[in-house]
Amino acid sequence: MSKKIFPKNRLLIFGLFLLTLLIMVSLLASYVAPFDPNYVEVENRLNRPGGKNILGTDGYGRDIFSRIVFGARFSLSLAVLVVLINLCIGVFIGTASGFFGGAVDELTMRLVDILLAFPNIIFALLVIGILGPSIPNLVFALVALGWTNYARITRGLVLSLKEQDFIISIKAIGGGDFYIITRHVIPSIIPFLVVLATLNMGHMIMSIAALSFLGLGVQIPTPEWGSMLSEGKQFIFTHPHVIISPGLAIIIAVFAFNLLGDGLRDVLDPRTKEIIKT
Amino acid sequence: MLEAVNLSKSFYYGLFQRNKNDAVKNVSFKIKKGETLCLLGESGCGKTTAGMMIAGLIKPTSGMVLYRKENIFKYRPKELKKFRTRLQIIFQDPDTVLNPRWIIEKSLSEPLRIHGLANGKESRDRIMELIETVGLSHEHLNRYPFELSGGQLQRIILARALLLKPDFIVADEPTSSLDVSVQAQILTIFKELQKKFQLSCLFITHDLHVARCIADRIAVMYKGTMLEEGNAEDIFSNPVHPYTRGLLDSLIIPDPEAVHPLDSNIPITSDRNYTGCKYKELCDYREQICEEKEPVLKK
Ligand SMILES: Nc1ncnc2c1ncn2[C@@H]1O[C@H](COP(=O)(O)OP(=O)(O)O)[C@@H](O)[C@H]1O
Ligand SMILES: [Mg+2]
């Protein structure tokens, strides 16, 4: 059935196309980028786009296009790392809570409720403010809260799944809890998790950029979209090209993941729409 | 062979678990080897709950289930796993029992894989043999559950239940979600298999015709309690409880105007202040004592 819907879903295809482009660019960054992203050439400061620097140069004379290309690699891999850690922790806790219930469930879900009351970015600011800015701390700050949404949704899915006849019938033929969870429960919720993780990717790219912009994430001179914005903000009126390109890069990446996430949500399972709301 | 002793199950619900629903109350029966006991009663009277307790899938609030004289709720994990090969349960709605993402063959070989009993060719041979016994063919093995009809699925589920060579089957209304024409087929296959594999059976149904066709003994349930139990012939020829009589009358004289006890809209009395016999509102033989005490079934 899904095969029929697929070609019709143009937005999904477009999202997939953008994403493939992003991934290719980050994987082949050294081939795609015409210059060393950190090569400083003071006499070429603040070149306008065009000529040998397609997107111009920044305040230190570094090639903006090359920096954006390497920034893609950086932003994507960091976001993937954060999302994967969130996913693993959240799915583990959510499955255990939903499947076994009891006191552990009560306790973890109250913790989730409390954590969900904090706005994401403010919590991350707090964590980094205490621990100091570095990449591991950035990852930690985004994971500290990020897993909760996965846990909550996984728990709900598992709760409704475990009442279903096909799970009970496996218990009745002798399948143990571990077997049921790994062979039936988790595989059944994978479509939901894929959608959730895809949508979350966009969110995390944005958070990483925002924290880097504030100087709390990736440190300069590392080519990263958020820190490029940060470095370029002094030129916002005189040489806007310095910040337009990294800004657009962030928007396109977030857009690509959201398109893909929404598209997958419709295609994989109509039910996901009710359960995962953006 | 299998015995239910004073089985009770209460569900608690609502704020602070304040409300109590006695789904099953003090139900006892014995099933001998090769015998079929039919649990007969209207929808919502606690049949499924009783069946799930017999299969060890729900823990009773009180009472016990003895399988070959051992309490199944005291089993150690290893014994429980072994018990799962001895007793199989068949659910009411065949559409929901198999993993919708798995092809039939994978679901069918699952019990063997779980118990490490057979794999590869041996497993395939056993599956083929059973699939033919239930009247299907290898063509059905590569399909997904949604591609098969309810009747075909119920046959698959029967085959899967028999794969582990059980000696006891709990069948929870296995035909009630099927078309009438298919019901008879499944029932016939069920009876054949039961004979062939010498299965003892707890057969749950709300359908008197089905009960008459399959039961050696009949236990009548009403609102969680057991009203009457006896040989199928005795119950059909000489019912003791007025409720059972009502049931049988409705079967013999098809009178659309008559109040069918199964359609009665008397509210289920889960109210904890409720006293006396649960059947009193409908009973023609109502006396003062019915208001005061709940009757207990005597052997
Ligand atoms: N998991 C449950 N939680 C709460 N109440 C339940 C549950 N399962 C069954 N019940 C209640 O127990 C009663 C008996 O249900 P059930 O055993 O399914 O009856 P039957 O199979 O005879 O139709 C019903 O009133 C039902 O609402
Ligand atoms: Mg039922």
Q: Does B171 touch chain A (CB under 8 A)?
A: no
Q: What is the CATH number of domain A2-24+62-277?
A: 1.10.3720.10
Least CB–CB distance from A174: residue in B81, B96, B101: B81
Per-residue pLDDT, averaged over A2-13, amounts to 63
Q: Is the pLDDT of residue A139 over 70?
A: yes
Q: Is B114 in contact with A173 (Cβ distance < 8 A)?
A: yes
Cα nearest neighbour of B51 on chain A: A172
Name the β-bridge partners of B219. B39, B229
Q: In this predicted model, what pLDDT tens digit does every residue of B52-111 receive, in sequence order?
A: 999 999 999 999 999 999 999 999 999 999 999 999 999 999 999 999 999 999 999 999
Per-residue pLDDT, averaged over A170-189, amounts to 94
The CATH architecture to which B2-292 belongs is 3-Layer(aba) Sandwich (3.40)
Residue A176: its chain B contacts at CB < 8 A?
77, 81
Q: Is the ipTM of this complex over 0.90?
A: no
Q: Give the Å distance between the CA of A133 and the centre of ligand 1.
A: 56
DSSP B179: -
Instruction: Report the pLDDT value the prediction gives residue A269, as an integer from 0 to 100.
Output: 62
Say which amino acid occupies B159: A
Q: Give the Å distance between the CA of A109 and the centre of ligand 1.
A: 27
Q: In this predicted model, what pLDDT tens digit does every residue of A218-277 receive, in sequence order?
A: 777 788 888 888 887 777 778 778 788 889 989 999 999 998 888 888 777 655 556 665
pTM passes above 0.90: no
Q: Is A168 in contact with B57 (Cβ distance < 8 A)?
A: yes
Q: Does A176 touch chain B (CB under 8 A)?
A: yes
DSSP A20: H
Instruction: Report the pLDDT value the prediction gives residue B265, as an integer from 0 to 100.
Output: 47
Instruction: Report the pLDDT value the prediction gives residue B173, as an integer from 0 to 100.
Output: 92
Handedness of CA B33, B38, B43, B46 (dihedral sign): negative
Q: Does A215 touch chain B (CB under 8 A)?
A: no
Query: Could you tell me the pLDDT band of residue B161, with boundaries at 50, 70 and 90?
Result: very high
Query: Could you tell me the pLDDT band of residue B268, with boundaries at 50, 70 and 90?
Result: very low
Average pLDDT, whole number, for chain A? 84
Identify each DSSP E strand in A89-223 by its residue range.
none
Ligand 1 pocket list (CB less than 6 A): B 11, 13, 21, 23, 41, 43-49, 268
Q: Please return the burial class of B125, using the count of CB atoms within 10 Å of its CB with bins 0-12, 13-18 and 19+.
A: exposed
Q: Which residues contact B85 (CB under 8 A, 6 or more apart)?
A: A174, B111, B115, B164, B165, B166
Q: Is the pLDDT of residue A3 over 80?
A: no
Q: DSSP assignment of A215-245, as one string?
A: TSSSPTTS--HHHHHHHHGGGTTT-THHHHH
Identify which has the larger pLDDT, B264 or A135. Answer: A135
Average pLDDT, whole number, for chain B? 86
Say which amino acid occupies A123: F
CB-CB contact of A243 with A235 (8 Å): yes
Q: In this predicted model, what pLDDT tens digit does every residue of A10-69 receive, in sequence order?
A: 778 888 888 898 888 888 877 877 777 777 777 777 767 777 777 777 767 788 888 888
Instruction: Report the pLDDT value the prediction gives residue B267, as an integer from 0 to 100.
Output: 46
